[in-house]
A and B are shown apart, each in its own frame.
Chain A
């Protein structure tokens, strides 16, 4: 079971944060997918980073990627890959927002559909999401496969060999 298998407080917190991040990614995808894709493209284009063909590609593909990522984070499947991907994606978003803020651009954040202005509040929110995601990623990467239970009775464990040795 991948949902609440961590017993330490940090592991428990990481699990909660991972699920919350997953829900946020699913919501972000849903609000973009229900609207015309070009609305999200307008938000992306406002950052003035990508050429038009790339803006169109990202606007069409990113919401589906966010949906997949969200579902993976919630389910706990491919945990290392999904948490790393979430952290990288959030780092890219955060960098783009910092750049836009430093350039004084008054633009649409594009985080959860159209209409939300990029501000220190959106920056703080995405920063918190990035910090949470990094914590979840580090926890997932540190998590090692638990060792096989040590045999409680070595003699019993080796009995067949011991038996065959006696015959000789």
Chain B
């Protein structure tokens, strides 16, 4: 009971306001629906969701001003390079390169998940000058802070698997996860219903 109250208390700020985003959000913050995607760059399910579902959601809802999409960092401890990947992408987000960094990491997930060569993977989308900025930012509180905050908020939900999607509409919040999340027909029906 106490845990439930604590979890609810931790959620209240998230319910009350549009979540903070530092280059890791797209769309109109005043959109009627906010979608927060708790994701791990080394998780195969997250790659599938990022590659197959998110482009459709962006095209049908974010680009039309109906959804505000926020990416949340949730590196799982069992993935050796997930935290490092989150730090690098969060640093890339500080210089306005979130989407390109996230896209390339998910696209090349199979490769860097084995050897951990994240810098080589990211080199394809950022310049050497940008890379210097990114490496300087990685240990900065502006990078560590959002990741730690997202992890804490995810645990408070509680969130046990990735990807997990939080849909906030009309002050109500829905936590969606599991295989059904990959069925765009049903995700679309949910969003359409919430927009009525």
Question: Which residues of chain A have a CB within 8 Å of any CB of chain B?
Answer: 35-39, 41-48, 52, 55, 105-108, 114-115, 117
Query: Which residues in window 24-70 of B have CB below 8 A to A?
Result: none
What chain B residues lie within 8 Å of A105 (beta carbons)?
Answer: 178-179
A residues in contact with B113, CB < 8 Å: none
- Asked if B174 contacts A108 (CB within 8 A), the reply is no
Which of A42, A55, A107, A117 has a CB less than 8 Å from the CB of B187?
A: A42
User: What are 9 A-B interface contacts by the 8 Å CB criterion?
Assistant: A42-B176, A42-B186, A42-B190, A44-B180, A46-B181, A106-B160, A107-B177, A107-B178, A115-B176
| Residue in chain A with minimal CB distance to B183 | A45
Question: Complex: how many Å from CA A67 to CA B155?
Answer: 33
Q: Beyond A107-B178, A108-B176, is A52–B193 a contact (Cβ under 8 Å)? A: no
Question: CB-CB < 8 A to B179: which residues of A?
Answer: 45-48, 105, 107
Contacts of B176 in A (CB 8 A): 39, 42, 108, 114-115
A36-B194 in contact (CB<8A): yes
Chain B residues engaging chain A, CB cutoff 8 angstroms? 160-161, 174-181, 183, 185-187, 189-190, 193-194
A45-B175 in contact (CB<8A): no
How many CB-defined contacts (below 8 Å) exist between A and B?
65
- Taking the nearest CB of chain B, how far is it from the CB of A52, in angstroms? 7
Residues on A with beta carbons closer than 8 Å to the beta carbon of B181 = 42, 46
Chain B nearest Cβ from A20, distance in angstroms: 20
Q: Is the CB of A35 within 8 A of B174?
A: yes
Q: Is the CB of A36 within 8 A of B190?
A: yes
B183 neighbours in A (Cβ, 8 Å): 42, 45, 52
Bound-complex Cα distance A52 to B193 (A) = 18
How far, in angstroms, from A115 to B175 measured CA to CA in the complex? 5
A41 touches B189 (CB 8 A): yes
Knowing that A37-B189, A42-B190, A52-B185 touch, tell me 20 more A-B residue pairs with CB under 8 angstroms: A36-B189, A38-B187, A41-B186, A42-B176, A42-B186, A42-B187, A45-B180, A52-B183, A105-B178, A106-B160, A106-B178, A107-B177, A107-B179, A107-B180, A108-B176, A108-B177, A108-B178, A114-B174, A114-B176, A115-B174
Residues of B with C-beta under 8 A to A115: 174-176
Question: Given that A36-B189, A106-B160, A106-B161 are contacting pairs, would A42 and B194 also be in contact in the complex, using a CB cutoff of 8 Å?
Answer: no
